Amino acid sequence: MSVLSDAAASGFTYVGRAVRVVFGIGALDALEDEMERLALRRVLVIATPEQRESALDAASGVRDRIAGFFAEARMHVPVDVAHRARAYAREIGADGALAIGGGSTIGLGKAIALETGLPVVAVPTTYAGSEMTTIYGLTEHAIKTTGRDERVLPKTVIYDPALTVSLSAAQSAASGLNAVAHAVEGLYAVDGNPIVALLAEESIRALAGGRPAVVRTPADLAARSACLYGAWLAGTVLGAVSMALHHKLCHTLGGTFDLPHAQTHAVVLPYVAEFNAPAVPDAMVRIARALGVLDAVSGLRALADELNVPHSLRELGMRAEDLDRGAELAVAEPYPNPRPFDRAAIRTLLERAYGGSVIAA
Ligand code: NAD
């Protein structure tokens, strides 16, 4: 396989986005300098209620630049929360948003930026990767609307592995597989390109290398660094190319049946990889090589086993009677996917993921 010659033959488009990334154990110490670089004097700090104390602590080094604190971020950015956060930002005359947390918190920062144009500084504490994308989402009446807008892309991202130590082993495992899923789908994206393929393969290698150690020893900073590095690359992939069937299924299941985001990715990934494998042999070679195994699908399954993540949609609270609806929604307005599918194929895939069927690889 020669990515370069394949790409040279078919041509490609690559868009590089300007995000300033500061990475490393203790990188949070750079927050003051980074805010000065952006001339931020009155930021609104945002967090979830669960991370209220830790976010305040993380921002304590820049307390003179904080104009307000909003610790009400929630999964999938409910519209009413976004309205209140924007109103508060205006009320205090904020000149930027400092989002300290996972995808939910960074998602709220994006929602603020979308309407107000305020710059966002992101300090990610999970592996979801939202900080590297122009994708935003807002949820109203249980319907999540997503879009892309350059305004929501954070100006600066500070990745400090020390801030991820408090992420539980279970959440770390699921969030890491969420990142692996971005990289896997980046390898067979309809608008994929050789740069993204390099990032995606390296991302899987870093995440698979660090992940088991993180789950065994959550305070292992070397392993945390490997995972956060892999997550950064995965987020870059997510932001650069289109996602396919896996992401469509996870968005549908998460949005419609309220299944937990990262865990849904963790359960579904091996099933979609198995489904798509015959259509994308080169991507499977790259995934297997990154995992250090011979077969990509059984390698992904083994990684999930080692990480002890939930294995079935049933365990996540999905009901058997919702499988039909799930298949219907996933087929409506599908994302581009390398292997064509119909409702029956997706129903079968979902049924297997629901029951946690062992994949015969
Ligand atoms: P999350 O942000 O909802 O975090 C889950 C929980 O873990 C929260 O209670 C949070 O406070 C807590 N938490 C986060 N980091 C922690 C830490 N280091 N220590 C202790 N607790 C911590 O979960 P997530 O999976 O990061 O994000 C999911 C959301 O992000 C979804 O809404 C998803 O759609 C969105 N997302 C968006 C994009 C994008 O590009 N727009 C990409 C990925 C995910």
pLDDT for position 229 = 98
pLDDT of residue 198: 97
Secondary structure (DSSP) of 204-236: HHHHHHHHHHHHH-TT-HHHHHHHHHHHHHHHH
Nearest one of 223, 220, 184, 188 to 204, comparing CA atoms: 184
Counting from 1 in the atom list of ligand 1, the atom nearest the Cα of 51 is: 11
Atom 32 of ligand 1, nearest CA residue: 76
pLDDT at 295 over 70: yes
Look at residue 361 in the predicted model and tell me its pLDDT.
43
CA atoms within 13 A of residue 320's CA, in its CB half-sphere: 3
pLDDT at 120: 98
Atom of ligand 1 nearest to the CA of 136: 41
Q: Sign (positive/negative) of CA torsion 89, 95, 96, 98?
A: negative
Q: Which range has the worst mean pLDDT, 136-150, 156-170, 307-321? A: 136-150
Ligand 1: atom nearest CA of 239 is 40
Distance CA 82, CA 348 (A): 37
Q: Mean of the pLDDT values across residues 158-166? A: 98
Mutate to test the pocket of ligand 1, among 52, 54, 130 (most ligand atoms within 8 A of CB): 130
Q: Report how far apart, in Å, the C-alpha atoms of 262 and of each of 22, 174, 203, 325 are.
A: 25, 5, 17, 21
Which of 339, 130, 143 lies closest to 246 in space, CA to CA?
Answer: 339
pLDDT, the chain, mean? 94
* Residue 8 pLDDT: 64
Average pLDDT over residues 162-176: 96
| Nearest-angstrom CA–CA distance, 231 and 164 | 12
CA dihedral 280, 281, 286, 292 (to 10 degrees): 130
pTM of the model: 0.95
**pLDDT value at 5 more than 60:** no
Nearest to 124 by CA among 72, 58, 71: 58
Instruction: Point out the ligand 1 atom lying closest to the alpha carbon of residue 75.
Output: 32
- The structure tokens listed for 228 are 């956060």
Residues 6 or more apart whose Cβ sits within 8 Å of residue 348: none
Out of 126, 127, 151, mutate this one to test ligand 1's pocket (max ligand atoms within 8 Å of CB): namely: 126
pLDDT at 180 over 90: yes
Residues 198-240: pLDDT tens digits?
999 999 999 999 988 998 899 999 999 999 999 999 999 999 9
Ligand 1 pocket, Cβ-based, cut-off 6 angstroms: 48, 50-51, 75-76, 101-105, 107, 125-126, 128-130, 133, 135-137, 163-164, 166-167, 171, 175, 178, 238, 261-262
- The answer to whether 12 touches 64, Cβ cutoff 8 Å, is no
**What proportion of the chain, given as a percentage, has pLDDT over 70?**
97
The pLDDT tens digits for 13-66 are: 888 888 999 999 999 999 999 999 999 999 999 999 999 999 999 999 999 999
Place of tokens 């020669």: 2
Which ligand 1 atom minimizes the distance to the CA of 135?
A: 41
**How does pLDDT run across 253-281, given as a tens digit for each residue?**
988 888 999 999 999 999 999 999 999 99
Pocket test for ligand 1, best of 17, 48, 114 (most atoms within 8 A of CB): 48
pLDDT at 358: 65
CA–centroid distance, 11 to ligand 1, in Å, is: 35
Helix (H) or strand (E) holding 140: strand 135-140
> Which residue of 17, 56, 75, 263 sits with most ligand 1 atoms within 8 Å of its CB, as the best mutation to test the pocket?
75
Measure 217 CA to ligand 1 centroid, in angstroms. 21
Phi, psi of 124 (to 5 degrees): -70, 140
pLDDT digits (tens, 9 = 90+) for 59-106: 999 999 999 999 999 998 999 999 999 999 999 999 999 999 999 999
Res. 11: pLDDT tops 90: no
**Residue of the nearest CA to atom 34 in ligand 1?**
76
Please determine, for residue 3, whether its predicted confidence score (pLDDT) is greater than 60.
no
Expressed in angstroms and rounded, the spacing between residue 294 Cα and the centre of ligand 1 is: 32
Strands 143-148 and 135-140: antiparallel
Specify the ligand 1 atom closest to the Cα of 102.
2
Whether 142 shows a pLDDT value over 90: the answer reads: no
Residue written as tokens 């992401």?
247
